[in-house]
Structure 1
Amino acid sequence: MNLKQLSALLDLSQTTVSRALNGYPEVSEATRRRVLEAAHRHGYKPNSNARKLATGRAGSIGYVLPVGRNIDLDPHFVEFLSGLGEHALSREIDLSLTPAPYERESEAYHRIAASRSVDGVYLSSMRNDEQRIALVRELGIPFLAHGRALKPENGYAFVDIDNEGAFHDATRLLLQLGHQRLAFINGDTDFSFAVHRLDGVRRAMADRGLPVAKLQHHSAAMNEENGYRIANMLFRDADPAMRPTAVLSASMFTTLGIVRALNQLGLKMPDDVSVITHDDVFPFLKPESFSVPLSTTRSSIRAAGARICERLVDIISGAEREPVQEIWPVELIVRASTGPAPAEHRMVRRRPAEAAAAE
């Protein structure tokens, strides 16, 4: 069945049917639903070239994929792409990847704009002082950000999680359990998500009157080797009096290395050290599968991928007109890797009369 036949069957113009199939906002929801149901029932598949000519759209969303000697394929990206791809399939949208090294990223966006090969792009790995927002605006490319920059703060659409709130709550739990010496193995603080997480840890410490200078903070790419290296530095190479009693980790992949180091050093969770990690809900790496189930701050990166696709298609079609800034809450899931601070490290506060009686 072609577009002309489908239009005749529905007694609608070909323009209306085409607009309904491609998500134009001026088509009523009832008409759109009727057209989609008929297309599905009769096996209508739009000709991609004809659709591009009729709508002036490429039927594709784009992403500039960072490549280079120092860039690894991030498992977070693969999981995100799975969610995005599933939703793109349901909307009959293609995904176009444009590889580019960081220093030639601007050229990639100029090529995309000149070729009109995509209808919009999504931006990820938002940097503290983000330059791509101004660039894609100047080029007239519709876009949606996954994450948010420190600068600019406002005026653009994004989907993000509450990184600061997540790590504030995780840190508050550890402080309530009596931990005073904390370590945070963070992601790269050139990226805004890591800055927000550090802000959350520091805010929780300040709320409890604990000097933030006592925090042992380490910033590195989130992978197993960095987790292993930093954990050894914290627990094997440091003065025992300076060892943390609790560790916050920015990623499950970092935590793989942390747990490996703790096992080799004979340190037990949570008796010797408590651990809380960030979990992006990977089907192949579950916190419950560790020998000691891990406490986590949890958010689905696959769901974020689907939401990015959904909103970007709406932005392209005009269904979303305002720069909505969407921040998802993050769950704190407490499992067996967290417990009270070891007795010798707890800070016991007693009233003066109690202290005198003890003497």
Structure 2
Amino acid sequence: MKKNIAIIMGGYSSEYQISLKSGSVVHQYLDHSKFNTYPIHIFKDKWVYVDDNDKEYPVNRHDFSVQRGEEVLVFDCVFNAIHGSPGEDGFMQAYFELLQIPQTSCGNYQAALTFNKRDLLSVLRPYGIKSATSYYLNQGDPVDPQAIVKQVGLPCFVKANKAGSSFGITKVYEQKELLPAIDRAYKEDDEIIIEAFLDGTEVSVGVIKYKGETKVLPITEIVSENDFFDFEAKYQGKSQEITPARITPIQRKKVAQVAQRAYDILKMSGYSRSEFIFVGDEPYMLEMNTTPGLTAESILPEQARVAGIGLSELFESAIDEALREIK
């Protein structure tokens, strides 16, 4: 008997359009001989199932069911394709955990932790996982540009602490650029992380649960045409994403070990895609994404393809793992 799969997409953040694209790809590629798939758009003002004719049916948030005419749709599993809040920061995970509905991403604690760059790196640092020197600000804190430069040096990166797709990030070269960069970051979040610039090769490492095992996917090298891997580079063709990465065997071994170690330390499930920069042969972690982009051109699906895993197989495996975990 076919399983009913709700594919949640959209969300409350600046990443909602990217999420809609990811969710549409999941809807397209899941094997429809095995699954009935239902695109669910999650926005602040509405949660709706959108059918193939663009007709909307409200979601009953009490039990995550949908009334479609005389039929009440209930779901065997939720495929989470929401980038940013509330799909990547723990809220949807906690909601489905309370309803006892399996979902494909990590648990609510892991999602909340990894979505907070400052907390993630602080938790992993005692385990020997390296990260850049950083300086933290919360909205309303006094800003001392001299103290920031003394701590992290120049150039540096000013980032919104809880945002994805490089929204709210600026590379700062001069002290006078700090205040505008901080203002920009505060448009995305009320917490900021300012990090020292690391000069080295940037790579992205996908780690997934696949057929019951933790699997590190082939590593992707990021070569941005812009000054760094910003929104244009990620989504508007201003970068090369080379899989497998042109790195040395020792670099490949080290970064794969660190990415899997972080996944295991955090007791992750579902997909993760972690970003690193090499300083010599040592990988320094930048962040971990737990709902990475899922279009055919996105990094994690390309890594899976190089590993011999097609989109249909990749997405089906996530559902199989979610159903296995709840048993």
Q: Same fold (TM over 0.5)?
A: no
Structure in which a larger fraction of residues adopt helix: 1
Q: TM-score, normalised by structure 2?
A: 0.40
What is the TM-score normalised by the length of structure 1?
Answer: 0.37
* Higher-strand-fraction structure: 2
